[in-house]
Amino acid sequence: MNLEFDADTEEMRAMVVAFAQRELAGRGDTARAPFDTAGFRRRWRRAGEQGLVGGAVPADYGGSGLDAVASSAVMEALGYGGEDTGFAFSVAAHLFAALMPVVEFGTEEQKREWLPGLCSGELIAAHGITEPEAGSDALSLRTRAERKGDEYVLHGSKCFTTNAPVADVFVVQAATEPSGGFFGLTAFVVEAGTPGLSVGAPYDKVGLRGSPTADVHFDGCVVPAGRVLGTEGAGATVFSASMKWERVCLFAIYLGAMRRVLESTIAYAKEREQFGSPIGGFQAVGHRIVDMTLRLESARLLLYKAARGLARGDQDEIAPALAKLAVSEAAVQLGLDAVQVRGGLGMVGGEAETFLRDALPARVFSGTSEIQKNNVARALGLGSNRRPNRRR
Q: What is the phi/psi pair of residue 160, to 5°?
A: 55, 40
* Residues of each domain in the chain carrying CATH 2.40.110.10: 127-234
Q: The domain 127-234: what is its CATH number?
A: 2.40.110.10
Query: What is the number of other CB atoms lying within 10 angstroms of the CB of residue 144?
Result: 16
Known catalytic membership, residue 246: yes
* Residues of each domain in the chain carrying CATH 1.10.540.10: 7-124
251-379 CATH fold? Butyryl-CoA Dehydrogenase, subunit A; domain 3 (1.20.140)
Q: What's the predicted TM-score (pTM) here? A: 0.92
Q: Which of 258, 354, 241, 364 is nearest to 303 (CA)?
A: 258
Q: Which of 20, 356, 36 is nearest to 210 (CA)?
A: 36
Q: Which of 246, 263, 351, 353 is catalytic?
A: 246
* Residues of each domain in the chain carrying CATH 1.20.140.10: 251-379
Q: How far apart are CA 14 and CA 313, in angstroms?
A: 27
Q: What is the phi/psi pair of residue 265, to 5°?
A: -70, -40
Q: What is the pLDDT along the chain (392 residues), one digit of tens a residue?
A: 777 899 999 999 999 999 999 998 776 655 556 788 899 999 999 999 999 999 999 999 999 999 999 999 999 999 999 999 999 999 999 999 999 999 999 999 999 999 999 999 999 999 999 998 876 676 778 999 999 999 999 999 999 999 999 999 999 999 998 877 778 999 999 999 999 999 999 999 999 999 999 999 999 999 999 999 999 999 999 998 898 999 899 999 999 999 999 999 999 999 999 999 999 999 999 999 999 999 999 999 999 999 999 999 998 889 999 999 999 999 999 999 999 999 988 988 789 999 999 999 999 998 899 999 999 999 999 975 555 454 44
Domain 7-124 has CATH 3.30.365.10: no
